Amino acid sequence: MIIGWVPVGAVRGTDDRNRLDDHRKAWADAHDVRPRRHRCETRGMRLGERIVSDGFQLPAGWTGRLGGLLMASGNAATERHVVDLVPDRGTQDVLVLGPGPGIGVHRLLSRGASVVAVDPSPVMLAATLRRCRRLCERGATLTLRTGTATSHGLGPGTVGTAISVNNVMIWPDRMAGLVSVRTALCPGGELWVSAHEKWLAPGLTADCREAGFDDVEQWRWEPPGRGASTAVQLRARVET
C-alpha cells in the first residue's frame, strides 16, 4: 500500500520544462534547498558543477536519471549495509532521508518495516516508487514525500529510526537538519548516518550531541569493490 505520493507529470517540450523550473524554484524558495540548483540559476555553473548538482545533489532531468542509475550500483552496498545494521523496531516507522533511487527503502520494506521516504527530488521519489512498487502492491507500507531533513513533515516523536545515506554532507544547514530529525524520533529512537568521508565536513559527532542526541558512536567503513570510497558512519540515540 502506498500511503502518500506526490504526482510528477510527464514533461514534454520547452513550455513544460519552463513550468517545471518555475515550480521547482518556487518550491526551493519555500524550503531549505540551495536555490542555485535550478535550471535558471545553474546556467552560470561550470559543466562539472552542474552535472554533480543535477546528477547527485538534487537529481533532475536526464542527468538526474543517469545519476540515479549510477547511485543504484555504486552506493547499493552501503545502503544495504546501513539497513542491515539498524535494529528491527516492529511497528515503528522508519524515516529515510534522501533515499535517491531507493535501494535502502527496498531493503527495509523487504524485511517488513513501514517506511516514510523524504527527498526534495521528484526524479528520485519516482525512482524509489518504481523500485518498490511490487512490494507495495503486496502490502508493504511506503509513504513518499517531497521534503528535506528540515522539512520532512513528521510530528515530534513519531518515528523509531531515521536513516541518512550519502546526503548529510549536502544538507544546507546540518545542525538544523539534525535538530529536526531528532525531534521526529521517539524516546529511544536512533539516527543512522553514512557519508563519503572525503566530502563530509568535520564535527558530525559534536553536532549530533549539540542537536540533543545521546550515546553517539562514529566509525569508518570500507564498501566492497572499487567503485565507492571510504564511508564515515554514525549512530546517535535519543535518550529514553
Ligand X SMILES: C[S@@+](CC[C@H](N)C(=O)[O-])C[C@H]1O[C@@H](n2cnc3c(N)ncnc32)[C@H](O)[C@@H]1O
Give the footprint of ligand X on this chain (CB under 6 A).
56-59, 71, 75, 79, 97-100, 119-121, 124, 148-149, 165-167, 170-171
Q: How far is the CB of 171 from ligand X (least distance, A)?
A: 4
Instruction: Dig out the grid coordinates for 99 from the structure.
Output: 533515499
Nearer to ligand X, 119 or 207 (CB): 119
Q: How far is the CB of 3 from ligand X (least distance, A)?
A: 19
Q: How far is the CB of 89 from ligand X (least distance, A)?
A: 20
Q: How far is the CB of 98 from ligand X (least distance, A)?
A: 3
Residue type present at position 25: K
Q: How far is the CB of 170 from ligand X (least distance, A)?
A: 5
Nearer to ligand X, 114 or 150 (CB): 150
List of residues 6+ apart from 238 with CB closer than 8 A? 182, 185, 186, 187, 188, 189, 190, 212, 213, 214
Nearer to ligand X, 13 or 224 (CB): 224
Instruction: Dig out the grid coordinates for 150 from the structure.
Output: 528540515
Return the residue nearest ligand X (CB atom): 100
Nearer to ligand X, 98 or 189 (CB): 98
Nearer to ligand X, 166 or 233 (CB): 166
Residue 199: C-alpha distances to residues 67, 141, 169, 202 (Å): 17, 33, 7, 9
Nearest in space to 134 (alpha carbons), one of 160, 163, 162, 105: 105
Distance CA 172, CA 202 (A): 15
Nearer to ligand X, 172 or 212 (CB): 172
Instruction: Dig out the grid coordinates for 218 from the structure.
Output: 562514529
User: Hey, CA dihedral for 200, 32, 119, 140, is it positive or negative?
Assistant: positive
Q: How far is the CB of 240 from ligand X (least distance, A)?
A: 27
68 and 100 Cβ atoms separated by less than 8 Å:
yes
Q: What number of other Cβ atoms are within 10 A of residue 73's Cβ?
A: 13
